[in-house]
Each structure stands twice: as structure tokens, then as C-alpha cells.
Amino acid sequence: MVIGDIMKIDVEKEGKDLIKVKMVDVDPYIPNLLRMFLWEDKDVTFVAFDKDHPLIGTPKLIVKGKDPVKSLKLAVEKAKKQIGEVGKNIEKEIN
């Protein structure tokens, strides 16, 4: 599954109110950014980020809530927007 255009994820477990995903080839700051946005979602009751090894591990994200897939997609859209704004600000400062 590809979420947005910033990452590919493998769904390890999916249920009515739970999704556990493994993030493939993703920059290490993305899972924490998503976790931050997921906690802002009132429909999310639990979110956790795990990585098997700090340097080489594959990040995993667990989301519980009313509609975890929808919440995850919304968090990705918010992250894309924030990353885009940061990129524009950097370009402005450089030029």
C-alpha cells in the first residue's frame, strides 16, 4: 500500500479499530511526525511507534481508534503539507 507519495507501507495487521503497519524505505523522522498528527485526531485512542533497531530497524506504527486507516491517511496528508511548507521556507531563505 502506498500512502500519499511519501512512503510505502506494508500492513501487518488490520481490524475494525486497529491497524499495524511497517514503513518501507522511509526517513526516520516521518513516523514520529505521523505519531504527532495522529495524537491530535480525536478519533484515535492509541498510537505507538516502534523500531527494531535504532539505526537499521524498520519503523512500525500501531494505530487504534474509530477508523484507523482514515486517521492514518489524514495524518499523512497533514505531514505532506507541513513538509512542503518547510521546503518552501528553505527555498526562500536560500534564494
Note the pLDDT tens digit of each residue in 28-74: 788 889 999 999 999 999 999 888 777 777 889 999 999 999 999 99
Structure confidence at residue 83 as a pLDDT band (50, 70, 90):
confident
How many separate domains does the chain show?
1
Q: What is the mean pLDDT of residues 71-91?
A: 85
- pLDDT, residue 86, reads 76
* Of the candidates 11, 1, 7, 17, the residue with the CA atom closest to the CA atom of residue 67: 17
* Of the candidates 78, 65, 62, 67, the residue with the CA atom closest to the CA atom of residue 21: 62
Domain that residue 32 falls in:
2-94
- pLDDT, residue 30, reads 84
DSSP sequence for the chain: -EETTTEEEEEEEE-SSEEEEEEES--THHHHHHHHHHHH-TTEEEEEEEESSTTTPPEEEEEEESSHHHHHHHHHHHHHHHHHHHHHHHHHHH-
For residue 27, give the CATH number of its domain: 3.30.1360.10
Res 4 pLDDT > 70 = no
Res 18 pLDDT > 60 = yes
